[in-house]
Amino acid sequence: DLSKLHIVPMVIGLVFLIALVVVLATTVMLRKDLIHEESLQLAGKYKDRFDATFVGSETCKKCHERTYLEWKTSLHSRMLRDVKVDPLANIGDFETPNDVRTFSEEEIAYTLGSQWRQQYLKKEGDDLIVLPASYHFPTDKWTSYQPDQPEKRKWWPECAGCHATGVDPEKKTFVEAGVACEACHGPGSNHVEAIPGFEIPTIISASRLNSGLSAQICGSCHTRGRDKTGKYAYPVDYQTHKGE
């Protein structure tokens, strides 16, 4: 019967298609399970990481001088600069007359940014406030920055966590200005004190993380992550190795 001969290949093809879908679905599920399991294993490996304290980039330099020098010339290191420590940090043109904007004299504590746009922070008690003018370096022009929203210019709740290292927004303190070594690698005291060849990782290294977690080292700030409580406009106590 010719009709039956046509049906048989169709049935075989349908069975094959169903089997292929099942295999693909199972593969995806297994991959998700493997990624989850890998994340859990990494979390276990780094269990002691948050007992560590910050040691500062100068300490990292002792063993990682080449990497330190590359970082020192990067935009990350110049993200936040104390003008008393580095008077050349200020690149804004305050001399040329400006018909659009008038200036008032303020004592600048820190500069924020250095290549495309630079902003200026002043102290008000234990707070840091971003001034309402921003200097655009490529065009040599000044623009307004949130002049009518002073709450948006409060540096500790709005900016601190992604522009300094070792930030404690409750105490309004940070360990190191700028995005330093430990901003991405985590507190380094355990790593510094570890015996050479010690098997348990003592510092966060992107090469030891799966692709999802390693991307989140940068993504926690560069995708404008937020504090879980909604109190701060950046992640607080972000645990890189867990992705949370």
Mean pLDDT (the chain) is 79
Cβ neighbours of residue 60 closer than 8 Å, sequence gap 6 or more = 67, 68, 181, 182, 188
Per cent of the chain over pLDDT 90 is 35
Task: Give dist(CA 81, CA 188) in Å, integer.
Answer: 22
Output the pTM of the full model: 0.74
Q: Where are the domains of the chain?
A: 1-39, 57-220
**pLDDT value of residue 128:** 96
Q: 16-52: per-residue pLDDT in tens?
A: 666 665 555 554 444 444 444 454 444 445 444 457 8
pLDDT at 10: 60
For residues 230 and 207, give the distance between their C-alpha atoms in angstroms, rounded to a whole number: 31
127: left (phi over 0), alpha (psi -120 to 50) or beta: beta
pLDDT for 178 beyond 90: yes
What is the pLDDT averaged over residues 193-212? 78
Give tens-digit pLDDT for 131-141. Answer: 998 998 888 88
Count the neighbouring beta carbons within 10 Å of the beta carbon of residue 140. 10
Would the pLDDT of 238 be above 80? no
| pLDDT at 229 (0 to 100) | 85
Confidence at residue 224, expressed as pLDDT on a 0 to 100 scale:
81
